C-alpha cells in the first residue's frame, strides 16, 4: 500500500502544501486539497510561466479584450462585429486516448470562444507526431485526426486550416493544439465574472460524471510508466450536445440575463466557480445536491473535480432563473440553479446537508505560487549549432532531392487529414485547406473576412530558441499576408518540457523573448493563449514547440489569393533575397540526416517590409498568387505552387553560393508570387519604394518544373512525378506502415 502523502499524490509539492496551511490557517480536507491541487497545477496556474508571459505585448488598436479571459477579442473594422479567438492544447489526453483527447480539445476551445458571447465560425489545428513507420504513431495520428473531424463536423463548425509535422521527438508525446475563431456583436461581449451578491449560479449542459478527475494535474505531469498507471479517464465528447449548448448560451446572452459565463473545462466546477468569483471580487456558494449527475453515489470530491464535457457555469441576474431554464429546455439542454453569488470572497461547497469545502477564492487563484526557476543555456548547444558546409556533400541529382523533400511527411500534402474535416459547413469559407498559405473566412453582412493561420518550427527552437521564437511569429504572419490578410492579433500555445530543468526553462525563456520581439516589430499583440509544460516521456522532453495562431483582416473578400499558379505564361518572382543558409533545414534533416547548425537569420525590419509589399500588391490586384518559402526552401515553394495550380514552370536563377542552398535553404522573409507581365512595373515600384529585393525567376507553363542555375540545368521534374511524391506520401505511409 502506498504511503505517499496525499498532496504529493495530487501533484502538489511539500512547500506548496505548507503554503496552503498558511493560507487556510488549518489543514484542508480532501475536497479542499483536491481543489488546490487542480487550480495550483501548471495547467491552470501557469506558475512557472506567468512571469515570462508578462513579456508579451498585449495592447494594440485592434485589441478589445486581452489576456486573462477565456479568449481574446479584437475589432477588425467590420462595423459592430468583433472577433474572438484562442488556441489550447490537449496533448496528454490525446497521447493516451487520441480520438477522445482530440475531440474534447475541440469541444473545450469552442466553449472558450462561446464564453465571450461569440458564435464559433472556424477551427484550426496544429499537430505533432513521431515518425509514421511506428505503428503506435500511426494509431495516434489516425485517432487524433478522426477526433478533430468527428467533433468539428458534428458540431457544425468548419475546420479550415492548420499544419502537421513529424519528428522523432514526438514519438511518445504527440502535440494536439487547436484554435477557434468566433464572431460576436459588440453588445454581446461577455466576461467570465461572477458579480452581484444574490445573483444565481446556474449549471447549463450535460450531467456530471467521474471522467477526467484530476485531468488538470495529469496535464501538468510528464508521461511515463508511473503516470500511465494513474492516468484519469479521458472525458468523451458529444458534439450534438455541444451544438445545443452553443445555441442555448447565445440566446441567454442575447436576452440580457447573463452577468458572466465560464466553460467548465480543466478542473470543472472548481475552476469555473473560483475563477469567476475571483474576477468579480466576490464569492460563490453552491449545493452539489443540485448538480445534474449521471452516475450514482458521486462524492463532493468527484463532483468538484470532474471534467465532464459540454458544461457551462452561468451567472444569471436574480429573478430571471425561470426564463433561463425555459430557454435551456427549449434547446434540449439540462440546467439547474446550483448556488448563489455571495459578498464573502469564499467558495463554499455544500453536499448532503454539510459544508464539504470552504476556501477563499483568492487562495485558489491569485495566491497560487509563482516560480522563477533557474535558466541555463544547454551545454551542448554550441556543438549542435556548429555546421561546416564544406563537410556537407552536394547531391548530384537535385531533382531527386526535390522529390524526396516533397515526399517528406512534414512537407507532403496533408489532404489525407484535412479531407476528413468539413471545411465548408456554414458557407463562410473563402479559402480552405490546401488552397492557400492561410485560411480565409467571410464575415457575414460585410465585404470583410478574417485570414487565419497556425504555425511553428521546433527545429529552429532546438538550435536557437530566440531566433526560433521570432520566426514562429513572422512565418505565421507571413502566411496570413500571402492570403491577403493584415495580421492584427496573435494567440499561442507554448509546448515545452519540464520548466524545473534549467536548460528547458532557458529555452522557453529565449523563445518567449523572440516571439515578443517579433510581435512588437510586426504590430501583432498577444491576446491570450495556453502554456503546456512537462511534455516529456520518461524524462526526455519534446522538442521546444511554440505554436503561433494569427488572425488577419481582409478588407475586401475579393482581394485574396491562393498559393497555386493560376495559369500559364505568368511571371514568377521572389520578394526577398536568398542567402547561403542550410542550418536547421528540412533538407539537412531529410537528405543528410543532420539536425544541426544555426537556423536562418531573421531581420524583423526586412520581414515587415516584405509583408507590407506583398499585402499591398495583393490589394492592388498586382499578383495572382503568393506562397511563403519555408520548409524545403525555394524549390519546394515553387513546386507546391505548380502542383496546386496544375501548371509547370521554367526558372532561370543566378547565385554565387551552393546550388543546394539556393534551392533548399530556408532563408526567411521570402515570398514567391506570380503576376501578369503588364503588372511587373507596378510591383517593381512597390518593392523599390520599400527597399525590398524583387527578383524575376521565370515563367509558368508546361508540365514540368525546370530550374537552371547559372546557365546549367539543375532540376527537371515532371508534374506527374512531383504529384506522386507530394500527394502520395501520407496515404502510402498510412496504408503501408511508413513506406512511400
DSSP 8-state class, residue 67: B
Q: What are phi and psi of 503, to 5 degrees?
A: -70, -35
3-state secondary structure of 574: strand
3-state secondary structure of 614: helix
Q: How far apart are CA 492 and CA 179, in angstroms?
A: 9
Q: How far apart are CA 633 and CA 306, in angstroms?
A: 47
Among residues 48, 90, 351, 537, the one annotated as catalytic is 90
Residue with cell 501538468: 220
By the 8 A CB rule, do 624 and 677 touch? no
By the 8 A CB rule, do 470 and 604 touch? yes
The answer to whether 48 is a known catalytic residue is no
Q: How far apart are CA 277 and CA 284, in angstroms?
A: 6
Residue with cell 499537430: 127
By the 8 A CB rule, do 498 and 222 touch? yes
> Dihedral, CA atoms, 695, 696, 697, 702, nearest 10 degrees?
160
By the 8 A CB rule, do 432 and 422 touch? no
By the 8 A CB rule, do 576 and 607 touch? no
Across 639-676, b (16+ Cβ under 10 Å) vs e yields bbbbbbbebbbbbebeeeebbbbbbbbbbbbbbbbbbe
Closest to 455 measured CA to CA, from 162, 98, 90: 162
Distance of CA 98 to the CA centre of its chain: 17
Q: How far apart are CA 723 and CA 644, in angstroms?
A: 9
Which grid cell is 402? Answer: 526535390
Residue 297 exposed, middle or buried by CB count within 10 Å (0-12, 13-18, 19+)? exposed
Which grid cell is 339? Answer: 448556488
The answer to whether 43 is a known catalytic residue is yes
Which grid cell is 146? Answer: 478522426
Element holding 482 (H helix, E strand): helix 465-482
Q: How far apart are CA 552 and CA 595, in angstroms?
A: 33
Q: Where are the alpha helices (DSSP H) in 170-230?
A: 215-218, 225-229
Q: What are phi and psi of 404, to 5 degrees?
A: -65, -40
The DSSP result for 227-290, as a single string, is HHHTPPPPP---HHHHHHHHHHHHHHHHTT-EEEEEE--TTHHHHHHHHHHHHHTSEEEEEGGG
Closest to 530 measured CA to CA, from 454, 430, 447, 602: 454
Residue 487 CA: distances (Å) to CA of 81, 181, 451, 718:
17, 14, 8, 36
- The catalytic residue positions are 43, 90
Amino acid at each position: 500500500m502506498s504511503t505517499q502523502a496525499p498532496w504529493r499524490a495530487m501533484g502538489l509539492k511539500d512547500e506548496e502544501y505548507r503554503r496552503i496551511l498558511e493560507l487556510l490557517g488549518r489543514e484542508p480536507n480532501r475536497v479542499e486539497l483536491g481543489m488546490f491541487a487542480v487550480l495550483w497545477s501548471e495547467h491552470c496556474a501557469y506558475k512557472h510561466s506567468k512571469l515570462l508571459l508578462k513579456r508579451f505585448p498585449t495592447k494594440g488598436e485592434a485589441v478589445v479584450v486581452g489576456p486573462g479571459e477565456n479568449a481574446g477579442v479584437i475589432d477588425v473594422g467590420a462595423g459592430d462585429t468583433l472577433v474572438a479567438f484562442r488556441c489550447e492544447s490537449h496533448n496528454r489526453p490525446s497521447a493516451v486516448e487520441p480520438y477522445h483527447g482530440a475531440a474534447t480539445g475541440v469541444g473545450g476551445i469552442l466553449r472558450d470562444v462561446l464564453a465571450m458571447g461569440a458564435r464559433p465560425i472556424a477551427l484550426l489545428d496544429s499537430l505533432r507526431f513521431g515518425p509514421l513507420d511506428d505503428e503506435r504513431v500511426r494509431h495516434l495520428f489516425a485517432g487524433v485526426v478522426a477526433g478533430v473531424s468527428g467533433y468539428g463536423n458534428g458540431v457544425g463548425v468548419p475546420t479550415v486550416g492548420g499544419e502537421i509535422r513529424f519528428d522523432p521527438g514526438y514519438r511518445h508525446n504527440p502535440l494536439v493544439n487547436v484554435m477557434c475563431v468566433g464572431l460576436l456583436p459588440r453588445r454581446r461581449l461577455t466576461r467570465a465574472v461572477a458579480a452581484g451578491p444574490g445573483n444565481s449560479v446556474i449549471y447549463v449542459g450535460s450531467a456530471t460524471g467521474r471522467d477526467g478527475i484530476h485531468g488538470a494535474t495529469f496535464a501538468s505531469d510528464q508521461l511515463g510508466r508511473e503516470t500511465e498507471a494513474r492516468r484519469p479517464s479521458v472525458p468523451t465528447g458529444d458534439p450534438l450536445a455541444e451544438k445545443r449548448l452553443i445555441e442555448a448560451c447565445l440566446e441567454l446572452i442575447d436576452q440580457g440575463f447573463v452577468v458572466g459565463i465560464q466553460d467548465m473545462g480543466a478542473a470543472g466546477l472548481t475552476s469555473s466557480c473560483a475563477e469567476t468569483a475571483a474576477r468579480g471580487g466576490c464569492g460563490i456558494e453552491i449545493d452539489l445536491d443540485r448538480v445534474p449527475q449521471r452516475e450514482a453515489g458521486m462524492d463532493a470530491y468527484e463532483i468538484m473535480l470532474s471534467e465532464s464535457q459540454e458544461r457551462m457555469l452561468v451567472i444569471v441576474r436574480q429573478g430571471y432563473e425561470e426564463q433561463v431554464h425555459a430557454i435551456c429546455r427549449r434547446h434540449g439542454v439540462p440546467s439547474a440553479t446550483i448556488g448563489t453569488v455571495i459578498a464573502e470572497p469564499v467558495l463554499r461547497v455544500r453536499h448532503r446537508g454539510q459544508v464539504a469545502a470552504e476556501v477563499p477564492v483568492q487562495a485558489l487563484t491569485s495566491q497560487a505560487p509563482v516560480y522563477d526557476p533557474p535558466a541555463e543555456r544547454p551545454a551542448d548547444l554550441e556543438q549542435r549549432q556548429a555546421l561546416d558546409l564544406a563537410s556537407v556533400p552536394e547531391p548530384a541529382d537535385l531533382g531527386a532531392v526535390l522529390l524526396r523533400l516533397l515526399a517528406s511527411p512534414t512537407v507532403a500534402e496533408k489532404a489525407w487529414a484535412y479531407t476528413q474535416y468539413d471545411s465548408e459547413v456554414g458557407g463562410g469559407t473563402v479559402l480552405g485547406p490546401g488552397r492557400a498559405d492561410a485560411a480565409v473566412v467571410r464575415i457575414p453582412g460585410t465585404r470583410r473576412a478574417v485570414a487565419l493561420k497556425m504555425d511553428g518550427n521546433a527545429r529552429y527552437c532546438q538550435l536557437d530558441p530566440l531566433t526560433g521564437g521570432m520566426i514562429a511569429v513572422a512565418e505565421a504572419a507571413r502566411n496570413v499576408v500571402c492570403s491577403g490578410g493584415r495580421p492584427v492579433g496573435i494567440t499561442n500555445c507554448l509546448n515545452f518540457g519540464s520548466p524545473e530543468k534549467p536548460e528547458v526553462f532557458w529555452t522557453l525563456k529565449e523563445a518567449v523573448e523572440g516571439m515578443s520581439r517579433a510581435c512588437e516589430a510586426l504590430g501583432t499583440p498577444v491576446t491570450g493563449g495556453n502554456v503546456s509544460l512537462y511534455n516529456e516521456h520518461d524524462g526526455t522532453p519534446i522538442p521546444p514547440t511554440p505554436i503561433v495562431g494569427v488572425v488577419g483582416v481582409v478588407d475586401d473578400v475579393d482581394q485574396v489569393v491562393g498559393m497555386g499558379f493560376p495559369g500559364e505564361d505568368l511571371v514568377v518572382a521572389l520578394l526577398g533575397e536568398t542567402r547561403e543558409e542550410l542550418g536547421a533545414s528540412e533538407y539537412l534533416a531529410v537528405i543528410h540526416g543532420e539536425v544541426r547548425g544555426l537556423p536562418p537569420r531573421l531581420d524583423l525590419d526586412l520581414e515587415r517590409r516584405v509583408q507590407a509589399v506583398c499585402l499591398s500588391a495583393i490589394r492592388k490586384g498586382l499578383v495572382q498568387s503568393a506562397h511563403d518559402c519555408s520548409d524545403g526552401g525555394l524549390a519546394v515553394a515553387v513546386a507546391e505552387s505548380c502542383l496546386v495550380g496544375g501548371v509547370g514552370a521554367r526558372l532561370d536563377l543566378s547565385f554565387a553560393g551552393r546550388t543546394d542552398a539556393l534551392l533548399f535553404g530556408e532563408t526567411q522573409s521570402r515570398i514567391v508570387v506570380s503576376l501578369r507581365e503588364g503588372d511587373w512595373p507596378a510591383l517593381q515600384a512597390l518593392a523599390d519604394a520599400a527597399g525590398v529585393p524583387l527578383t524575376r525567376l521565370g515563367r509558368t507553363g508546361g508540365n514540368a518544373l525546370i530550374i537552371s542555375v547559372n546557365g546549367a540545368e539543375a532540376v527537371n521534374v515532371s508534374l506527374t512525378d512531383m504529384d506522386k511524391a507530394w500527394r502520395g506520401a501520407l496515404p502510402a505511409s498510412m496504408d503501408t506502415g511508413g513506406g512511400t
